[in-house]
Chain A
Amino acid sequence: MTLPQTVILPEMPSLSKLYVNAAAQAARRRLLGAHDTATLPAEGHEVRGVKVDVENLTAYQHLIGETASDVLPAGFIHALAFPLAMSVLNRDDFPLPLLGMIHVRNSIEQRSPLVFTDLLDATARVENLRGHRAGTQVDVVVEVGPAGTGRVHWRGVSTYLAKGVFLPGIDKASAAEPKADFSAPDPTALWHLGVDTGRAYAAVSGDFNPIHLSVLSAKALGMRRSIAHGMYLASRALADVGPARGDSFAWDVDFEAPVFLPCRVALEISTEQGGAGAWKRSTFVAWNPRSGRRHFRGTVEALHEAHGLPVT
C-alpha cells in the first residue's frame, strides 16, 4: 500500500505538537495572507510498526461500551492513526487551515480484524478537494494493516469541511441539497452525556482538541460550550449495534449537528435481516430529545453486502 510518493515518519506524530503547530500556522497565515493554491499535497505519510498500548485499548473499550476483547474496535484504529492523518493536514503545502475544520462524514471498512498484538503499518493521504456550498471539503484516506504485509485490513475516509474557505479554481457546489424533514422515531436508547464526556474521550483517543475539553477552552475557540467528539458518538453507536456486525463490516456516519455537553442524546437503532435471518445492516440515528434536532446518522453493514469481498 506504499504510495508513489510517501514520507515515512519515524514514529506516530504527537497530536499536541501538531495542534500547536496548526495554531502557529493559522497565525502565520493571518499575518502573511492565506496562500491561494488549490492543489493537495501528492505525498502521503506512513508510519511502520505501530504498537498498541493494551491499557489504552482497554480504557477505550470500556468508555465506548465495547467488551474488552483482543480485537481492535474499528473506532480505536481511527483514533490510533488520527495523528498520522492530522500530520498530512498540517503540512505547509496543505491548502486549508487545519483548525476549525469540521468533521462531516466518516466512512470505514473493517475488512478483517486486527488484534492488539499485531504491529501495524498505517498510511494517510488527502484527496478529492472539492467545493461545498459553505466552504471547501477534503477527504483524508487512512489505511491500516499488519506490519510488513502490505495488506489493508482497515480503511477509513474522513471528510472535513473548511467552513467559509473558498479556494480559487474550486467551484462552489450548487444549491444546498433539500433537507428532508426529520421526525424523531421512538428511541431504543438514551445516552446521558456528562460535561466531562469530551475529556474522557480525549484521554483514550489522544485527541485533546480544546473544543472538546471544557466550556472555557471551547469558548476560546468561539464555541458556546464544549462538544462531544464525533468519533466518540459514532463509536458508541457502533458498540450499540452489538456483536451481530461480526468481524468485517462497513461503518458510515454523517455528522449533522454538534452535541453540546452536557446533554442527553436519544438513539434509534434498527436491524435489517438478509436471507435466512442473518444480519445484513443496522441503521442508527441520533437526536436531541428536547429539540428533536438530528445529531448524526449512519449504517453498519455486512461488508460482502456493501462493497464486495475485501481485496488485499
Chain B
Amino acid sequence: MISLAALSVAYAGGRRALDGVDLSIAPGERVALIGPSGAGKTTLLRVMGANLRPTGGQLQLDGLDPWALNARQLQGLRGRVGKMYQAPPIPPRQRVITAVLAGRLGQWPLWRAVASLIYPLDIDGARAALAPFDLAERLFDRCDQLSGGQLQRVALARLFYQQPQLVLADEPVSALDPTLARSVAVALNEDAKRRGATLIASLHAVELALSEFSRVIGLREGRIVFDRPAAQLGVADIEALYAGVPYASAPEAHNPDAPSARPRLTRCA
C-alpha cells in the first residue's frame, strides 16, 4: 500500500524534517506515529498523503509514485485518502450537514457539489455518519454552535462519510479531553478494522498508541527510532524515544539559531 525508501524532506536552509526514512505499510494495518514534537510526524503524514513532495528518495502509494501522475490522477489518488487534523479545518459558519457531505467532494462531479450546496442531496447519509457520535440531531446547526470536541467528531463523521482506503490522522485527539480522546481513537480504529482500511495516526498520548494500534513507529529528528508491534514495546523504548527532550523546546533541537519562543508556523503552511 505505502512504501518509502530512503525518503527525505529538506527545507530551504538545509534543515531536514525527514532523513532517510525506509518504511512499508501493508493494507489494513493500523499504525501509530509517536515521538517528540518536531520529530517529523506531520511531515511524514503529509508526504504519505501526497500533500508534500519529498526532496529525496522514493515514495509509492498504491504502487504509484504520486508525483509522476498527472493532475487528474493525483486528484483521484487524494480522493482515496482521508485526513484528520488537530484543529478540524471546517468553516465556522458552515452547517454540520454540509461539512459532513464535503467528505465526498473528491468523488462527486461538480454539478452534484453545487446542487448539494443549494439543497443537501444526501441527508440520510450524513445523518448515518453522525449517528455514532450522538450528533444526528445537530445536522442543521452551524458548526460554530458546537464545542471543540463535537467539531472534531463532525470531522470524524466527514471522514467516515468519505470512506477512504487510507486514513492519515495528524494529532486527531490532542485537543480533546482524555475520555473523548480515547473514544475518537477507538472509533478511528474500529472503522479501519471494519472496512479493512489502513490507518496511520500521529499521537502524543503514548498509552493510546500502545493500547489501540497494532503497530507503533517511533520518530525522532526525522529518523525512525523503532518500528514494531505495540505488544513488543517496553517502557525503556518509550523513555529512550523521549529522553533528553525538554518540554516544548524540542523543535528547536535542530535549529539552535532560532529564538526558542518563535512559533514554527512554516511547518504547517
Asked if A and B are interacting partners, one says: no
Residues of A within 8 A of B (CB): none
